[in-house]
C-alpha cells in the first residue's frame, strides 16, 4: 500500500429538513387547527481514529464527503427523520487543519478518538410551532438550516516511541529490518527510503516499543534540499531519538552537527528530545578508528555514544535495552503527570 501523509478534502454536513404547513382535518372536528411538523436534523461529519489504518491513501481517490439532508416534516405534527452521520475513519495520529494549513481543528492521537467536525443543520419549524391564542391558523413554515462546509487538510504524524534520524545511508533501514519484522528497501545508494517506515521491537513478552524510520536528511533539508523535512513530523511524538551515524564515512562530528542543525531549524522542541547517539557500521572500521571517532563524537556532543553494527548485530542488544529503558521511563513520567486540580469554591455560609 502506498504511503500518503497529507491530503486535502472537502466536507459538508447535511442541511436541515423543511418544516411544513398542514392543518388537521377529521370528521366531526370543526376546527382542527395547524399540525405541520418540524424538519429533521441534517447529518454530521464525524472523524474517528482507526487503529487498522496507517496511511491517508484512500483520500487521494475520494476527496468529497457530503452528509444527507434531514427529512421534511409532515402533517399530524410529525417531525422529519434525522439524517445519519458520515463517519470518516483516519489513521491514529491524524491532525485536521483548516484550509490555511496552520489552524489545527483536531488531533486524533488516540484509538477511537472522534470529533464532530461539521454539525448538521437544524430542521425548520412547521406551522404547528407558530400557533398562538391570537394566531390560530398560521401559514408559516421555515426552511431547514444549512449545514457547515469547508475544505480541510489532513496531516498524518505516525505514533512511535523511537525516531530514527540520520544522514542518507547511515544504516537506518538495515537497523530497522534487523530489530523488527519491517522490511524496508535497502540498497547502497542514498535515499532508498522515500517514506516513513514503522517497526515493532519486542524484547520480551511485556516489553516492546515502536520505531519510526524517516527518509534521510541532508544539509539544507529545512529549505527543501533532498526530500526536505516534511517527514520530520513523524518523529515529533516520539519519546526518544536514535541518531545513527555512519562511522565508516569519515567525519562523524560533521554528520552529527548536520542533523542537529536540521532538527533545530525544523522545531526546537524536536531537537530538545532525548537523543541516543549510535556510531554505526563498526564492522567496517578498525578498533583504532572506532575508539577515536567515538571519542570525537562524545567530545562534540557531550553525551555518551554507543557503537553497533546492523549487519553483524554487534552491540544491538545493548542499544535496544537502552532504548527500552528510556521509553519506559519517559512514558511512565507522562502517565504520572496529573492534570491540575480544579479550584474548589467555598460553600456559602448559611
- Same-domain pairing of 114 and 263: no
pLDDT tens sequence across 30-41? 778 899 999 999
According to the per-residue pLDDT averaged within each range, which of 85-94, 171-180, 227-236 is highest? Answer: 85-94
The domain tally of the chain equals 2
Res 335: pLDDT:
77
Residue 347 forms part of a structural domain: no
Domain range for 287: 162-336
- Same-domain pairing of 36 and 54: yes
> What residues are designated binding site for GTP?
166-173, 191-195, 213-216, 280-283, 309-311
> What residues are designated binding site?
166-173, 191-195, 213-216, 280-283, 309-311
- Same-domain pairing of 247 and 127: no
- Same-domain pairing of 168 and 101: no
- Same-domain pairing of 146 and 41: yes
Res 346: pLDDT:
43
**For all residues of the chain together, what is the average pLDDT?**
83
- Same-domain pairing of 330 and 204: yes
Reading phi first (left if > 0) and then psi (alpha if -120 to 50, else beta), residue 226 is in left
3-state class (DSSP) for residue 222: helix
| CATH number, position 288 | 3.40.50.300
**Domain edge (last residue) among 156, 186, 221:** 156
- Give the Cα separation of 280 and 247 in Å (integer): 6
Phi, psi angle pair for 348, to nearest 5°: -65, 145
Helix, strand, coil % (nearest 5) of the chain? 25, 25, 50
According to the per-residue pLDDT averaged within each range, which of 152-156, 157-161, 279-283 is highest? Answer: 152-156
- Residue 294 grid coordinates: 567515538
- Same-domain pairing of 176 and 141: no
Residue 323 forms part of a structural domain: yes
Residue 104 forms part of a structural domain: yes
Confidence at 345, pLDDT banded by 50, 70, 90: very low
- Give the Cα separation of 175 and 192 in Å (integer): 14
- Same-domain pairing of 150 and 166: no
- Residue 252 grid coordinates: 562523524
Residue 342 forms part of a structural domain: no
Residue 344 forms part of a structural domain: no
- Same-domain pairing of 167 and 222: yes
Res 161: pLDDT:
84
- Give the Cα separation of 41 and 120 in Å (integer): 6
- Same-domain pairing of 171 and 296: yes
**Domain edge (last residue) among 156, 183, 210:** 156
- Same-domain pairing of 194 and 60: no
Query: Whole-model pTM?
Result: 0.73
Share of the chain above pLDDT 70, in %: 87
Residue 86 forms part of a structural domain: yes
> What residues are designated binding site for Mg(2+)?
173, 193
Residue 319 forms part of a structural domain: yes
Reading phi first (left if > 0) and then psi (alpha if -120 to 50, else beta), residue 207 is in beta
In sequence order, what are the residues at sequence separation of 6 or more whose Cβ sits closer than 8 angstroms to the Cβ of residue 262? 217, 219, 221, 222, 229, 232
pLDDT higher than threshold 90 for residue 120: yes
| CATH number, position 93 | 2.70.210.12
Residue 295 forms part of a structural domain: yes
Share of the chain above pLDDT 90, in %: 31
- Give the Cα separation of 126 and 302 in Å (integer): 74
**Domain edge (last residue) among 128, 156, 184:** 156
- Same-domain pairing of 206 and 132: no
Confidence at 144, pLDDT banded by 50, 70, 90: very high
Amino acid at each position: 500500500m502506498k504511503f500518503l501523509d497529507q491530503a486535502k478534502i472537502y466536507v459538508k454536513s447535511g442541511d436541515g429538513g423543511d418544516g411544513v404547513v398542514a392543518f388537521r382535518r377529521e370528521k366531526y372536528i370543526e376546527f382542527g387547527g395547524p399540525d405541520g411538523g418540524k424538519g429533521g436534523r441534517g447529518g454530521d461529519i464525524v472523524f474517528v481514529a482507526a487503529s487498522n489504518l496507517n496511511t491517508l491513501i484512500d483520500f487521494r481517490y475520494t476527496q468529497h464527503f457530503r452528509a444527507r439532508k434531514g427529512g421534511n416534516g409532515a402533517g399530524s405534527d410529525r417531525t422529519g427523520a434525522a439524517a445519519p452521520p458520515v463517519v470518516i475513519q483516519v489513521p491514529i495520529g491524524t491532525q485536521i487543519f483548516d484550509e490555511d494549513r496552520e489552524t489545527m481543528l483536531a488531533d486524533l492521537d488516540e484509538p477511537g478518538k472522534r470529533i464532530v467536525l461539521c454539525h448538521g443543520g437544524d430542521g425548520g419549524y412547521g406551522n404547528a410551532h407558530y400557533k398562538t391564542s391570537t394566531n390560530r391558523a398560521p401559514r408559516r413554515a421555515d426552511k431547514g438550516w444549512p449545514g457547515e462546509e469547508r475544505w480541510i487538510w489532513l496531516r498524518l504524524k505516525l505514533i512511535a516511541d523511537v525516531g530514527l534520524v540520520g544522514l542518507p545511508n547511515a544504516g537506518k533501514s538495515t537497523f530497522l529490518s534487523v530489530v523488527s519484522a519491517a522490511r524496508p528497501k535497502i540498497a547502497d545508494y542514498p535515499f532508498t527510503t522515500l517514506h516513513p517506515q514503522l517497526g515493532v521491537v519486542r524484547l520480551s513478552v511485556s516489553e516492546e516499543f515502536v520505531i519510526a524510520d524517516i527518509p534521510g536528511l541532508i544539509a539544507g533539508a529545512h529549505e527543501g534540499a533532498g526530500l526536505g523535512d516534511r517527514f520530520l513530523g513523524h518523529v515529533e511524538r516520539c519519546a526518544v531519538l536514535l541518531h545513527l551515524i555512519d562511522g565508516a564515512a569519515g567525519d562523524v562530528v560533521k554528520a552529527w552537527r548536520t542533523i542537529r542543525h536540521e532538527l533545530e531549524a525544523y522545531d526546537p522542541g524536536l531537537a530538545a528530545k532525548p537523543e541516543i547517539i549510535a556510531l554505526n557500521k563498526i564492522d567496517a572500521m578498525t578498533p583504532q578508528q572506532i575508539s577515536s571517532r567515538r571519542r570525537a563524537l562524545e567530545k562534540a556532543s557531550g553525551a555518551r555514544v554507543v557503537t553497533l553494527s546492523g549487519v553483524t548485530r554487534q552491540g544491538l542488544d545493548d542499544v535496544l535495552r537502552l532504548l527500552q529503558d528510556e521509553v519506559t521511563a519517559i512514558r511512565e513520567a507522562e502517565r504520572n503527570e496529573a492534570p491540575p486540580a480544579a479550584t474548589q469554591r467555598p460553600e456559602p455560609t448559611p
